[in-house]
Structure 1
Amino acid sequence: MIFPKNALDKLGFIEIKSLIKEKCLSEPGREMVEKIQPQTKLDQIDRFLRQTQEFKDLLEHDAPLPVDHLYPIKPLAEKARLEGAFLAEEEFYRILQSLRTVYAVIRYFNEREGQYTNLALLFEHLPIETKIVRQIETVIDDRGKMKDNASRLLLDITQQILKSEQEARKRIDQVFKQAQNNGWTADGNLTVRDGRLCIPILAENKRKLKGLIHDESATGQTAYIEPEEVFHLNNKVRDLEFERRREVIRILTELTTELRPHVPLLLAYHGLLSKLDFVRAKALFAIDIEAHMPELSKDAELNLVNARHPLLLIGAKKEQHVVVPLHIKIDQQDRIILVSGPNAGGKSVCMKTVGLLQLMVQAGLLIPAESTSKVGIFRQIFADIGDDQSIESDLSTYSAHLSKMKHFTEFADARTLVLIDEFGTGTDPLFGGPMAEAVLEALNKKNIRGVVTTHYSNLKVFAANTVGLENASMLFDNVAMRPLYILQVGKPGSSYAFEIAQKIGLRPEILEAAKQKIGTQQKKVDTLLVDLERDKKLVHDTKIAIGKREKELETLKAEYESLQGHLEENKRQLLRDAKEEARQILKDANKLVEHTIAEIKSAQADKERTRELRRDLHAAVDKNTQKKPSPKPAESANNGSEEPIEVGDWVKLLDADTEAQVMEVAKGNNLILALGDLRTVVKKNKVIKLRGKEKAKVVKRHRAMSSDSVADFQPEVDVRGMRTEDALRQLETVLDRAVMIGYPTLKILHGKGDGILRKFVRDYLRKYSHVSHFEDEHADRGGDGITYAYIN
């Protein structure tokens, strides 16, 4: 499928695999990464991609997967399969840890049934055999050692060993003390020789103490003796230890025999852990390169949107540079893209990006491009990159290129992706150009897809006049004399040979002599291409400026619609209030009229009393029908001065007769006000700035209210285990309240894990205007699992 074999290395695929291997936790996982190869079956590729995408989503938005212990189970299971063999204590401990991991993983996905459907396929129908774990736990402790009570005999032997050791130690201490009293000992305490505890005795006294001499000092003045009675006790301990070892082997052999029927299940568990480690590594690498899953197509086509070379992207992140994204489309109409342009302008990177991303997709890896990108499946990928001259094969540079072209023209078909860098180079351009054109014509007749880079003018002309071929060029800023690394499809590009030579300082007379040596027609063509590049650059800059302007207009439109909605809501509220007030007035008026009539009747038409009641009725009518004075403009309240309203000022809303504090002075003569725990946007001419006693009274009242709010406020938010969206929503709510009540700090518990949630939380804090800075908690109290945000 891949030709030649070194094309994977030339395109950078081998380096991609090395970077993924670094993410693996186990050797089986690394072995699986090493076996990654591009596939051609669509359903298989789709499953691999979806598994990686689901694991990426899990890492970014879900609780961490419990994969703490990924010991390789397979070699242990193979050993246990052999009759008469037994596993050591530490080997059983590894199996125990791995089984606990397997069961935790299975339970993790069972709790999320239906959420990660493709990952669930990895362990479909695998049972949780807890019997194995219980059997091992009865024998092996949490330190990986045999339990003393693994059997009754083992417990008895262990207790005898302990008792004998204590007796031997007690006896040697007595002998040592007696020898010291007799003046037989040398300077120093009891010491170990040949694994036995010995007494240091002066050489002239060594016959006075019965025992075994294990060693003597370099000068021969001190002998190290194990007393005879202690020697027998230590031998008894040694015999008991041998007996204990025999019992341990018996228990391990019995446990291995019980484990043997479960060997096939253990091998299945091994496969699950290996695959999980493998997919996890792919997902972590996808996060590093900001990768997404593209849309797969059955057809031999390619449409990359905002694609970036993954290796360049990783290097740029380290050096804090920006990689210019690539947009390229290959389909039935434009099957071959012929890329021209200046040296060091990005032609080869463009071609390698296409090849590497195609290999990655067919190998089940996510790619650094928009999810709207579309990638087809190619049965063959042919690449001619770099110099493959060979002394052993007697091949020159050009011969090596021609050998590849021979293979391309013979075996390529409509489902072959062909990548050729600097097509036709390596020989006399007078002959290399026509040869390259003939090969390109033959490949085009086979309906192949591909990307070709070149400087040859005859190939540019051929592409312009041939169906299926499309010219493209890398943009060049001929004012600043630097490449822009932007691919423009539709027109060929100039090599800018004279412009680049002039920039690096080649003498003018040499440049002029060179210009005279090229043909007039070629000079016109190159000048035309340079002018075309200049026009394309102008169009490109204009499009960017228009795009920025459109974004500004969209922002203004959204702001207008927001204000319009706020105005409509205020209007509806005023109408509701007015209707309620009118209803109440009418109700009171009816009561007053009924009361007046009743009073007149009870006064039996007394003129004076009737006149008095009518005066009261008219007074009530006048009170409710008197026109309220309209509020004067803000400047009248400010004694005619044009004093500006600033952040922190207290104002009164004319429409609502409510006080609020200014949080922000926005564009368009707007103010963002704080009404308790709520925020609203109003125009400046709808408020009156409060001053003097009136302001002091409002501040005092709001402080009292705020103190109650502070008492209820908890300056701590725990987002551990939340999805990213929920965590940020919770953080925003608490942050807003902290800002409203003036709280200085906020403690955020996000945990450590893989650091994904911590990254999103800190990115959000950087964008929050009221957060001055943040830092980790002290290492003894949580370290980088907790963030302190300081609010200005």
Structure 2
Amino acid sequence: MLYPENSTEKLGFTEVKELIKAHCLSSMGQQMVDKIQVMNNYEQIRKFLSQASEFKSILQNDAALPINHFFDIKTLANKARIEGAFLSEEEFFQIQASLSTVFAVIGYFNEREGQYPNLEALFEHLPIEKAILKKIDQIIDNKGKIRPNASRDLLEITSGIAKAEQDARRKIDQIFKSATGNGWTADGTLTVRDGRLCIPLLAENKRKLKGFIHDESATGQTVYMEPEEVFSLNNRIRDLEFERRREIIKILTQLTDELRPYVPLLLSYHGLLTKLDFVRAKALFAIDIEAEMPGVVSEAKIRLINARHPLLFLSFKKEQKIVVPLNMQIDEGVRIITVSGPNAGGKSVCMKTVGLLQMMVQAGLLIPADANSTVGVFKQMFVDIGDDQSIESDLSTYSAHLSKMKHFVENASGKTLILIDEFGTGTDPQFGGPIAEAVLEALNQKKVKGMVTTHYSNLKIFSSNTEGIENASMLFDNVQMKPLYQLDIGKPGSSYAFEIAQKIGLPQNVLNLAKNKISSGQKKVDTLLVDLEREKKEIYDNKVKLDTQQRRVNNLLAENEKLKSYLEENQKALIREAKQQAKEIITNANKLVENTIAEIKSNQADKEKTRNLREKLNRELQRNTVKAEPVPKPAANDEELKAGDWVKLTDSDTTGQVIEIAKDNVIIAIGDLRTVAKRKRVQKISRKDVPKDIRRSFSSTTNDMAGFNPEIDVRGMRGEDALQAIERLMDRAIMMGFGNLKIIHGKGDGILRKLIRNYFKKYDQVSRMEDEHQDRGGDGITYVYFR
């Protein structure tokens, strides 16, 4: 399927496997990683990808899988299979620990039945035989040692050893104390020689005690003696220990015999643990490279969105640099992409990214690309990258290339992916170009799909005029003379040979001489390509500026609509309140007049009484008469305004408080809303001229708005704490009428970013989310826009 055999090294797939192996917990998992191969079975590829995706979801979003111990059960089971053989205490402990892990894992998935179907399939129909574990637990403790009561004989022997050791210790302590009292011992305490506890005696006193001398000091002045009484006790202990060892072997042999019928099941458990270790390592590597599971189809096609080379991504991550994402598509419409552009512009990396990600998907590995990407299945992958000249085979560089081209043309089909770097190089361009063009035409006729890189103009022209082949170029900033590493499909690219040579410092007379040696037609083509790239970059920059301006306009329109709604609502409320007050005043006035007339009549028009009633009526009339407020003089244009001052709009009675002054504009808080007015449209008023109820409503809201910042930095926070902080900020922003939030969460492994964005998706108030511009933080910052 792969040609040549070293394609995996050429594209970096071997390095990817080594990085996955580093995540394995066992040698069995590492062996499975070594066996990873590029497959072409669609169902198998999809199954392996789904397993890795489900395990990645567990690692990021669920409780930790109880995987604590991985031992080579297969080797132990094969040993137990042999009649007469027995497993050691340590080996039984390894089986015990591994089985505990197996049963815990199965229990974990049983609690989440149906949630991870592809991982559950790993142990489908696998019985849980806890009788094995029970048998081992009766003999081996949780520290891997045989239990003292594993058998009645072992318990008696163990007790006998303990008693004999106590007697021996007590006896030697008595003798040592007596010898010390008689002055026979040397300085020091009881010591061990040849595994026996001995008394240090002065050499001249060695015949005063009966016993066995095990050693003497370097000077010969001290001997180390085991007393005769203790010697016999220690021999008894040694005999009991031999008996204990024989009893342990008998118990382990019996336990191994009981385990032997379960050997096939143990091998099945071994397979489950190995597969779990393998899939776990793939999932951890996917998290390292921020990989996702793309859409997988059985057709031979590729559509990559925001794809990144995994090895380059990890390298740049250490240096805190960002990989420029790749977007490309190969299908029946565009089968072959011919990539051109400057040297060191990223052509080879672009092509290797496509090849490596295709290999990874067909090997069941998640890839660092958007989940909306689509990857098909190719039956063959032909690669021609680098110099494969061979002294042994008498092949030059160009001969090696031609040998590969021969294989490509003879064996390729519509299900073949070809990757050819520097197509046609290695010989005289006058002949290499036409040969490369002929090979490309032959491959195109066979409906082959793939990507080639070249500097040859004839291949660029052929690609632009041939159905099924599309030109593409790596963008280059010809103002700053540096590559942008962005693939632009649809037109060829210039090699910028003269521009790069000039930047490096090649003498101008040499450059002029070189320019005079190329044909005028070629010169025009290259100049046209350079001009096209310059114009396209200018258009792109203008588009970015227009998008930014359009966002600002949309925000301002939204704020104006909110302000208009607020004013209309307040106007209606004031009119309703005024009408209600007028109605109450008229009702009270009518009652007062009627009462006054009644009292005058009842007092038969007494002059004094009538005068008092008339004065009371006048007082009530004055109390309910609205006095015309003096119109304040407009504030002088040079009157100084500052944040916190109270102002009134000159063309209305609207009162607000200044939040900020920006040149000729004044930003004013009116209730929970903000507005912007020209400096000449506002006049400063004193605080006492502002009604108390308005001051009270403004006292908290305005201060909050003046000090409110619609931006938050949650880097380093735990996920739950970050969401709580963001929720509080969002509540205040919506209440105060802010149109968007800026959330700085950093890049890292992307876990916090994904958590935050999933959180906002559940709110209807959120209209959309966007990344910051690449130059100002990229996907490490999220802008959230409200409806």
TM-score (norm. length: structure 2): 0.79
Q: Which residue of 2 aligns with 1:238?
A: 238
Which among 636, 642, 650 is matched to residue 644 of structure 1? Answer: 642
Secondary structure in structure 1 of the residue aligned to 2:30: helix
Alignment check: 8 A CA contact 1:211 1:231 kept:
yes
Deviation of 1:168 after TM superposition, in Å, equals 0.9
Q: Which residue of 2 aligns with 1:786?
A: none
**Distance of aligned partners of 1:684 and 1:394 in 2 relative to their CA distance in 1, 3 Å threshold:** closer
Q: Which residue of 1 aligns with 2:450?
A: 450
After superposition, where does 1:1-400 map in structure 2 within 5 Å? 1-400=1-400
Q: Which residue of 1 aligns with 2:546?
A: 549
Q: Which residue of 2 aligns with 1:529?
A: 526
Query: Is 1:682 aligned to 2:674, yes or no?
Result: yes
Q: Which residue identity does 1:80 align to in structure 2?
A: A
Deviation of 1:9 after TM superposition, in Å, equals 0.6
**Distance of aligned partners of 1:682 and 1:480 in 2 relative to their CA distance in 1, 3 Å threshold:** closer
Residue by residue over 1:367-402, the C-alpha shift from the partner in whole angstroms, topping out at 9 and shown as x without a partner, is: 222222222211100001111111222222122111
Q: Which residue identity does 1:323 align to in structure 2?
A: V
Residue by residue over 1:632-672, the C-alpha shift from the partner in whole angstroms, topping out at 9 and shown as x without a partner, is: 89x98x999543216xx99999x999999979999985578
Q: Which residue identity does 1:539 align to in structure 2?
A: K
Q: Which residue of 2 aligns with 1:780?
A: none
Deviation of 1:417 after TM superposition, in Å, equals 0.4
CA distance in 1, matches of 2:307, 2:377: 18
Which among 722, 728, 731 is matched to residue 728 of structure 1? Answer: 722
**Distance of aligned partners of 1:733 and 1:127 in 2 relative to their CA distance in 1, 3 Å threshold:** farther
Residue by residue over 1:530-572, the C-alpha shift from the partner in whole angstroms, topping out at 9 and shown as x without a partner, is: 3322322332232233124313422441454256346536754
Secondary structure in structure 1 of the residue aligned to 2:139: coil
CA distance in 2, matches of 1:666, 1:245: 94
Secondary structure in structure 2 of the residue aligned to 1:488: strand
Residue by residue over 1:168-205, the C-alpha shift from the partner in whole angstroms, topping out at 9 and shown as x without a partner, is: 11111222222233333333322211111112223333
CA distance in 1, matches of 2:620, 2:258: 100
Alignment check: 8 A CA contact 1:585 1:624 kept:
no
CA distance in 1, matches of 2:490, 2:731: 55
CA distance in 1, matches of 2:616, 2:260: 106
Alignment check: 8 A CA contact 1:650 1:662 kept:
no
Deviation of 1:624 after TM superposition, in Å, equals 7.1
Decide which moves more: 471-480 or 122-131.
122-131
Decide which moves more: 285-294 or 684-693.
684-693
Residue by residue over 1:612-634, the C-alpha shift from the partner in whole angstroms, topping out at 9 and shown as x without a partner, is: 9999899889877858979989x
**Distance of aligned partners of 1:604 and 1:689 in 2 relative to their CA distance in 1, 3 Å threshold:** closer
Percent sequence identity over aligned pairs: 54
Residue by residue over 1:105-143, the C-alpha shift from the partner in whole angstroms, topping out at 9 and shown as x without a partner, is: 333333333433333333334454444444433333332
**Distance of aligned partners of 1:572 and 1:164 in 2 relative to their CA distance in 1, 3 Å threshold:** farther
CA distance in 2, matches of 1:506, 1:196: 86
Which among 565, 569, 584 is matched to residue 568 of structure 1? Answer: 565
Alignment check: 8 A CA contact 1:477 1:534 kept:
no
CA distance in 2, matches of 1:571, 1:755: 49
CA distance in 1, matches of 2:723, 2:661: 22
Deviation of 1:415 after TM superposition, in Å, equals 0.7
Decide which moves more: 406-415 or 148-157.
148-157
CA distance in 1, matches of 2:432, 2:24: 47
Secondary structure in structure 2 of the residue aligned to 1:192: strand
Deviation of 1:236 after TM superposition, in Å, equals 1.6
Query: Is 1:422 aligned to 2:422, yes or no?
Result: yes
After superposition, where does 1:480-629 map in structure 2 within 5 Å? 480-518=480-518, 520=519, 523-558=520-555, 560-561=557-558, 564-565=561-562, 568=565, 571-572=568-569, 575=572, 579=576, 626=626
Residue by residue over 1:270-301, the C-alpha shift from the partner in whole angstroms, topping out at 9 and shown as x without a partner, is: 32322222222222222222222222233222
**Distance of aligned partners of 1:659 and 1:178 in 2 relative to their CA distance in 1, 3 Å threshold:** farther
Q: Which residue identity does 2:225 align to in structure 1?
A: I
CA distance in 2, matches of 1:20, 1:463: 39
CA distance in 2, matches of 1:629, 1:59: 70
CA distance in 1, matches of 2:688, 2:253: 91
Deviation of 1:448 after TM superposition, in Å, equals 0.2
CA distance in 1, matches of 2:471, 2:127: 58
CA distance in 1, matches of 2:648, 2:98: 67
Residue by residue over 1:479-499, the C-alpha shift from the partner in whole angstroms, topping out at 9 and shown as x without a partner, is: 333222222222222223333
The unaligned stretches of length 5 or more in structure 2 are 705-715, 734-747, 759-787
The unaligned stretches of length 5 or more in structure 1 are 707-717, 740-753, 765-792
CA distance in 2, matches of 1:364, 1:661: 61
**Distance of aligned partners of 1:763 and 1:329 in 2 relative to their CA distance in 1, 3 Å threshold:** closer
Alignment check: 8 A CA contact 2:657 2:668 kept:
no
**Distance of aligned partners of 1:397 and 1:587 in 2 relative to their CA distance in 1, 3 Å threshold:** same
Alignment check: 8 A CA contact 2:560 2:675 kept:
no
Alignment check: 8 A CA contact 1:40 1:379 kept:
yes
Query: How many residues are aligned here?
Result: 721
Alignment check: 8 A CA contact 1:492 1:529 kept:
no
CA distance in 1, matches of 2:595, 2:50: 84
Q: Which residue identity does 1:525 align to in structure 2?
A: Q
**Distance of aligned partners of 1:462 and 1:732 in 2 relative to their CA distance in 1, 3 Å threshold:** closer
Alignment check: 8 A CA contact 2:342 2:474 kept:
yes
TM-score (norm. length: structure 1): 0.79
Q: Which residue of 1 aligns with 2:770?
A: none
Residue by residue over 1:753-781, the C-alpha shift from the partner in whole angstroms, topping out at 9 and shown as x without a partner, is: x99878989999xxxxxxxxxxxxxxxxx
**Distance of aligned partners of 1:241 and 1:402 in 2 relative to their CA distance in 1, 3 Å threshold:** same
CA distance in 2, matches of 1:85, 1:687: 101
**Distance of aligned partners of 1:693 and 1:628 in 2 relative to their CA distance in 1, 3 Å threshold:** closer
